[in-house]
Amino acid sequence: MATATATQTKTAGTVGLKQFIDGRWTQGTGKNEIRSVNPADTRQVLAQCRGASRQDALRALEAAQKAFPRWRAVPAPSRARIIEKVVHLARERKEELARILTLEEGKIFPEALGELEKGINLLEWYAGEGLRFMGHTAPSELPKNLLFTVREPLGIVSAITPWNFPWAILCWKIAPALVAGNTVVLKPSSLTPWLAVEFVKLFESAGLPQGALNLVIGAGSEVGDVLVEDERIEAVSFTGSNEVGVRVHALAGKRGVRVTCEMGGKNPCLVWKDADLELALAGIVKGAFGSTGQRCTATSRLILHEEVADSLVWQIVEFAGSLKIGDGLKPGIGLGPLIDANQLHAVLKWIEIGKKEGAKILCGGKRFTAEGCRNGWFVEPTVFDQVTPSMKIAQEEIFGPVLSVFRVRDFEEAVRISNHTRFGLTSAIYTQNLSLALRFIEESQVGMVHVNSPTIGGEAQVPFGGVKASGVGEREMAKEGILFFSKPKTVFLDYTGKKRESNIY
* Catalytic sites, residue numbers: 262, 296
Contact residue for ligand NAP among 19, 164, 210, 260 (CB under 6 A) = 164
- Answer yes or no whether residue 48 interacts with ligand NAP by CB under 6 A: no
Least Cβ distance, residue 164 to ligand NAP (angstroms): 5
Q: Which is nearer to ligand NAP, 44 or 241 (CB)?
A: 241
Is residue 342 classed as helix, strand or coil in its secondary structure? helix
Specify the 3-state DSSP secondary structure of 341. Answer: helix
262 touches ligand NAP (CB under 6 A): yes
For 104-133, the DSSP string reads: HH---HHHHHHHHHHHHHHHHHHHHHHHH-
Identify the sign of the CA torsion 466, 470, 472, 477.
negative
Which CB atom, from 90 or from 215, has the smaller least distance to ligand NAP?
215
- Name the residue whose CB lies closest to ligand NAP: 224
Residue 296 interacting with ligand NAP (CB under 6 A):
yes
Chain centroid to CA 453: 20
Assess 292 for contact with ligand NAP (CB under 6 A).
Answer: no
From residue 217 to residue 236, the character string flagging contacts with ligand NAP as x (rule: CB under 6 A) and all else as - is --xxx--xx--x--------
Answer yes or no whether residue 244 interacts with ligand NAP by CB under 6 A. Answer: yes
Using CB under 6 A as the binding rule, the residues of this chain from 410 to 439 that contact ligand NAP are 425
- Using CB under 6 A as the binding rule, whether residue 397 contacts ligand NAP is answered as yes
CB of 290 to ligand NAP, least distance (A): 14
Residue 435 belongs to what H/E stretch? helix 434-443
Minimum distance, C-beta of residue 105 to ligand NAP, in the bound complex (Å): 11
Among 68, 163, 406, 485, binds ligand NAP (CB under 6 A): 163
Q: Does 191 bind ligand NAP (CB under 6 A)?
A: yes
Give the residue with the Cβ less far from ligand NAP, 87 or 169: 169
Does residue 51 belong to the site contacting ligand NAP (CB under 6 A)? no
For residues 444 and 270, the answer to whether their CB atoms sit within 8 Å is no
Range in contact with ligand NAP (rule: CB under 6 A) among 102-110, 185-193, 356-364, 377-385 = 185-193
DSSP single-letter state for residue 5: G
CA distance linking residue 415 with residue 419, whole number of Å: 6
**259 near ligand NAP (CB under 6 A):** no
Spatial contact of 158 and 233, defined as CB atoms under 8 Å apart:
yes
Helix or strand run (H / E) with residue 417: helix 411-419
* Number of amino acids touching ligand NAP (CB under 6 A): 34
Distance CA 116, CA 393 (A): 32
Query: What single string gives the DSSP state of each residue in 156-200?
Result: EEEEE--SSSTTHHHHHHHHHHHHTT-EEEEE--TTSHHHHHHHH
For residue 297, the minimal CB distance to ligand NAP (Å) is: 8
- In angstroms, the CA 18 to CA 458 distance is 32
Q: Which stretch binds ligand NAP (CB under 6 A): 6-14, 136-144, 159-167, 380-388?
A: 159-167
- When the beta carbons of 208 and 226 are compared against ligand NAP, the nearer one is 226
Concatenating the DSSP letter of every residue in 448-474 gives EEEESS-S----TTS-B--EETTEESS
Residue choice 161, 182, 291, 299 for contact with ligand NAP (CB under 6 A):
161
3-state secondary structure of 313: helix
Residues that bind ligand NAP in the complex, under the rule CB under 6 A = 160-165, 187-191, 219-221, 224-225, 228, 239-241, 244, 247-248, 262-265, 296, 397, 399, 425, 466, 470-471
